Amino acid sequence: MQVPPSIPTLRPNYTREDFKAGQTVLLRCDRSTGVPLSLHGSRATVLATTSSTRRLLVRLPADVAGRGARDLRVTPNQIALIVE
């Protein structure tokens, strides 16, 4: 009897409307522009959602970015989870 391949875990399908300033999120690298692979799984804080594009502005704390605080523009697809 063959064992079926593992089923990938489902992740939320977020839209820009799901986010608000001040939330803590976990970043996800989808290998497109926005979240580098080295920051996959890092916590960030949502600073703003832009109405003109699908992007969110998030800030990584200084200790995660390896220097001062770092801001990234990411898509909702690059958010793995809204923590709080």
> Is residue 1 scored above 90 in pLDDT?
no
Q: In which band, very low, low, confident or very high, does the pLDDT at 14 lie, cut at 50, 70 and 90?
A: confident
Domain-embedded: residue 11: no
User: So what's the pLDDT on residue 37?
Assistant: 85
Using alpha carbons, select from 51, 1, 50 the residue that is nearest to residue 72: 50
CATH number of the domain within which 67 lies: 2.30.30.70
Q: Which residue has the higher pLDDT, 70 or 32?
A: 70
> CA-based Rg of the chain, rounded to a whole angstrom?
14
What is the tally of structural domains in the chain? 1
| Domain, as residue range, for 75 | 16-82
